[in-house]
Structures are given as structure tokens and as C-alpha cells.
Amino acid sequence: MIFYFSGTGNSLYAARHLAKATQDRLISIPAEMSSPAFSKEYTLSTDERIGFVFPIHSWGPPEIVLRFIRRIRFANYQNHYCYFVATCGDDMGCTRQILERVLSAIGICLQAGFSLIMPNTYIALPGFDVDPLEIQKQKLAQAVPELNRIANDVDQKSSAFRLHPGAMPRLKSYLILPLFKKILISDKYFHTTDQCIACGKCVRICPTNNIRMENKCPVWQGNCTACLACYHVCPQRAIYFFAKKDKGQYLHPDLLKYGKENN
């Protein structure tokens, strides 16, 4: 089984690619967690693989992924092969160590991990923006052979770690990430301009169903996981975070083909 979370579609694309190559079933983390009291035991078949696919959020796994793992258990787990694929714009810090600790707390041993460079989606702070179009195309093209290689490793159950921790990973994951969680995982910074045409695309794309349309205006409900999909999907560029800044938008080219139910 492959558990996945994706905001703007990069990780969904990776998860679907892996599922097709390995014939493993896909399970959406936000769909599983739609009830507030969520906790679940999954039953594993004898040779089943356990995969987690998600984007990097500030040099760690998204909070929703960690919360999910803390609330699940596996019946008949006997050292089943467990791996992760983290999609990121550049680098992932100590994501492997963070994930290892959370998995080991529920008795699971992480045996493989991969980072996959994909177009960047982080635009919220000064100095951050989407990649230029040419770089996006390059990253998407290079991801295909890398995903095939990962799928092969996963299929063979290889104990491989091919990661991009980047420079100063401990500083990023153990100092900046906690600050990010405390301050920036919040939807109170989202605003809309009068360019909004009430099309509802931001409502439909939100993986946590955190946006409601009230009087033809999107209203954020306080259950945000900071994926920025609502910002990137807006056809009017009517959503901004903090202050109005001329930042780019990006969605994985396949995302809208998949439909809401896969998000």
C-alpha cells in the first residue's frame, strides 16, 4: 500500500507512477483523516510493501503526514518493507531521521527512502518563488527516469537511501522547521482580492477541505496544512499570503486530470 499526501500534484504524480509500476494500492492520507477522531489499523498481506509519498514542507514531512502515522497501526506487521518518497524543490534536510523516529514509535522500521526533485511550490516568504518555466520542464523530464529507478528499487525491496539533505540539514530541520510549524502553518495569512470570481477552484482543490464559500467569497476554516494548492490554483491570482506580491503559480500538469477524489 502507498499512503500519499499532495497539495499541488507533484507527489500525487509520483505516487501514481509508483502504484502503476508496483501494482500497489494508493491510499490518500487526507481522505483517510477526514474524521477528526481518525485512528485505524491496516491489515498487511504477507509480502506487502508500506510506502509513504509526500512533499517536503520546510525540510521535513508535512504535519498532516506525521499526524497520520502517529494514529495508525499495522496488523500482522513482521518487518514488512517500508519506504518513503519525498518530492522537493531542492533539498529535504533531516526528513529521513524525523520519519524514522515517528515510524519507530509505532513499531515500523524504515528500510528505504528517496527524494525526488520536482518543481518548487513554495512562494510564501520573501526570496522564494516558483522555478522558471525552463527549470520546471527540466525537473519534470528528469523525474521520469528517477521514478523508474525508485520503482525498480521498491519492487526489488532494496534497502536504498538516495536523498538530497542539502547544506546544514540539522539547522534547517531542527531549528527552522519548528519555527515554521509554530508561525507559518496557519491560514490566517490568506487573503483574497476583488479579482475573485467565486469559481470555487480553491475550495475544491484543498486536500483538507479547509475552505468554504461564504457570500461568494472563500473563507479559510483554520485546518490548513500549508500546501499552498489554493494559492496556486486560483485562475484570477486573487489569493495572496501575507502581502500582495507578484509571485508565480505552479500545479503539476496532470493534477487537474486526476480529479478532486484523488487529492
Ligand X SMILES: Cc1cc2nc3c(=O)[nH]c(=O)nc-3n(C[C@H](O)[C@H](O)[C@H](O)COP(=O)(O)O)c2cc1C
Q: Residue 134 is inside which H or E element, if any?
A: helix 133-156
- Grid coordinates representing 97 are 531521521
Residue with cell 484570477: 236
- 228 interacts with ligand X by CB under 6 A: yes
**Which residues have CB under 8 Å from 102's CB, separation 6+?**
66, 69, 70
> Footprint of ligand SF4 on residues 24-63 (CB under 6 A)?
none
Q: How far is the CB of 216 from ligand X (least distance, A)?
A: 27
Q: How far is the CB of 121 from ligand SF4 (least distance, A)?
A: 10
Residue with cell 485505524: 40
The binder of ligand X chosen from 30, 51, 55, 61 (CB under 6 A): 55
How many contiguous H segments (helices) and E segments (strands) does the chain have? 10, 12
Q: How far is the CB of 236 from ligand X (least distance, A)?
A: 20
- 131 interacts with ligand X by CB under 6 A: no
The binder of ligand X chosen from 61, 89, 113, 218 (CB under 6 A): 89
- 84 interacts with ligand X by CB under 6 A: no
Contact 2, 19 (CB under 8 A): yes
Q: How far is the CB of 60 from ligand SF4 (least distance, A)?
A: 16
Contact 64, 225 (CB under 8 A): yes
Question: 92: helix, coil or strand?
Answer: coil
Nearest to 137 by CA among 213, 42, 250: 250
Q: Which stretch binds ligand SF4 (CB under 6 A): 36-44, 78-86, 103-111, 228-236?
A: 228-236
Q: Applying CB under 6 A, which residues contact ligand SF4?
A: 7, 187, 192, 196-202, 205-208, 210-211, 218, 220, 224-230, 233-234, 236, 238-239
Q: Applying CB under 6 A, which residues contact ligand X?
A: 6-12, 55-59, 87-91, 118-122, 226-228, 252
